[in-house]
Structure 1
Amino acid sequence: MHATALLHLLQFASPALPIGAYSYSQGLEAALEAGTVRNADTARAWIARQLREVMAQWEAPVCWRLMRAFQQRDAQAVALWSERFLASRDTAEFRAETLQMGFSLSRLTAELGIADAAVIAMLPAESELALPVAYACAVAALDIPHAEALLAMLFAWAENQVLVCVKSVPLGQVAGQRMLLSLRPELEAAALHAQRLAEEDLSNWAPGLSLLSMRHEVQYSRLYRS
């Protein structure tokens, strides 16, 4: 991987990227409230299961297809997978999360001037711009290899989940880093699975997570927006 592409990837997959990722828990805070996640072992089990059953089955395969569509300048494929991803957001919080972060990332990409007009023209309207679409656009603009970009996306997701656990379980900083390190095999497996998954096998079936997200909308005390 070329050094320039690696540096671009490190920047755009960083938690420091100003798109608001730190303000979302993606249902994890509701799982903490319900007692499903209560210590290091249950936190790791939650993250690993969501990685295997949600991220590897839907989020990552969709992102993979979007990156390929941008590379091939296939605007129809971008529109198709954008529409399908938004349709898969089955709670108000999940939908608001991806739209807010997608909007923020697209604005950042535009303000940094890293994408040419042809790439920008493939984006959906700002009001309907999901995060994976904006991420795939940035990957295309910066000429980042797709396999590395996909793995970085999954790592950034896992890192954010671990940070939620560090703050809210709570876990110590070392315990959090130990957990993140232990997730390496699952992250690698999820990335490979996402690249090989046939279109008819994609699935966002996670009713338990959806119910927790709905509960979070009316949760009395919370730190996160999802």
Structure 2
Amino acid sequence: MQAAAFLHLLQLSSPSLPVGAYSYSQGLEAAMECRLVHDEATARAWIAAALQEVVARFEAPVLWRLLHAWGARDAELVTVWSERFLAARDTAEFRAETIQMGYSLAKLASDLKLGDDALRAMLAQQEEISFPVALAYAAVALEVPAPEALLGMLFSWAENQVLACVKSVPLGQVAGQRLLLSLRPELEQAAATAQQLADDELSNWAPGLSLLSMQHEVQYSRLYRS
């Protein structure tokens, strides 16, 4: 991996990327409210399960397909996977999250003039831009290889989950870093799974998570938007 691509990957994976990821917990705050997550062990169990059962089996495989669709300049395929991803957002909060983050990253990419004219024209054709669509676009525009872009997304997702636990369980900073380090095998496995699944094997079936997300919409006190 060339130094320029590596630096671009670090920028896309950074928590300072202005897309608002820090304001979402993806159901984790509701799990903490219900005491399903209340210490380091339960935090790790929650994050690992969400990674293996949801992210690795749907969000990451969709990103993998979008990376290749953008790379091939296949506007129709980008639209297909964009529509499927949005259709799979089964609560209002989950849908609003990906649309807001996708819009923010797409606007940032436009302001920074990332990509060539053909890529920018394809992006402009998208009616609603989810976060995976915008992230795949930015990675291709910055010439970040697909496998590394996928790992970057997975690590960024895990880091955001850990930070939510550090702030809200709460866990100490050392515990947070210990937790993040311990997730390396699961992150590697998630990347491998995402690249191997056939289209008809993709699934985000997680009714418990969906129920927690719906409960979070009416939760009395909350820090996060999902």
* TM-score of the two chains, using structure 1 as the length reference: 0.98
What are the superposed Cα offsets for residues 19-69 of structure 1, whole Å, 9 maximum, x if unpaired? 100000000000000110011000000000000000000000000000000
- Percent identity over paired residues: 68
AA of the residue aligned to 1:221: S
In structure 2, C-alpha distance between the alignment counterparts of 1:128 and 1:87, rounded to whole Å: 12
Task: Tell me what 2:184 maps to.
Answer: 184
Alignment of 1:1-226 (within 5 A): 1-123=1-123, 128-226=128-226
Aligned residues: 226
In structure 2, C-alpha distance between the alignment counterparts of 1:194 and 1:13, rounded to whole Å: 18
CA shift for structure 1 position 124: 6.0
What are the superposed Cα offsets for residues 129-185 of structure 1, whole Å, 9 maximum, x if unpaired? 100000000011011000000001000000000000000000000000000000000
CA RMSD between the two structures? 0.9
In structure 2, C-alpha distance between the alignment counterparts of 1:185 and 1:202, rounded to whole Å: 21
In structure 1, C-alpha distance between the alignment counterparts of 2:125 and 2:213, rounded to whole Å: 26
Confirm or deny: 8 A CA contact 2:69 2:75 kept in the other structure: yes
Secondary structure of the corresponding residue to residue 122 of structure 2: coil
Confirm or deny: 8 A CA contact 2:79 2:126 kept in the other structure: no
Confirm or deny: 8 A CA contact 1:103 1:126 kept in the other structure: no
Structure 1 unaligned residues grouped into runs of 5+: none
Secondary structure of the corresponding residue to residue 122 of structure 1: helix
Structure 2 unaligned residues grouped into runs of 5+: none
In structure 1, C-alpha distance between the alignment counterparts of 2:12 and 2:158, rounded to whole Å: 15
Confirm or deny: 8 A CA contact 1:24 1:224 kept in the other structure: yes
AA of the residue aligned to 1:24: Y
In structure 2, C-alpha distance between the alignment counterparts of 1:125 and 1:204, rounded to whole Å: 27
In structure 2, C-alpha distance between the alignment counterparts of 1:137 and 1:119, rounded to whole Å: 8
Distance 1:216 1:125, change over 3 A: farther
CA shift for structure 1 position 123: 2.3
CA shift for structure 1 position 126: 6.2
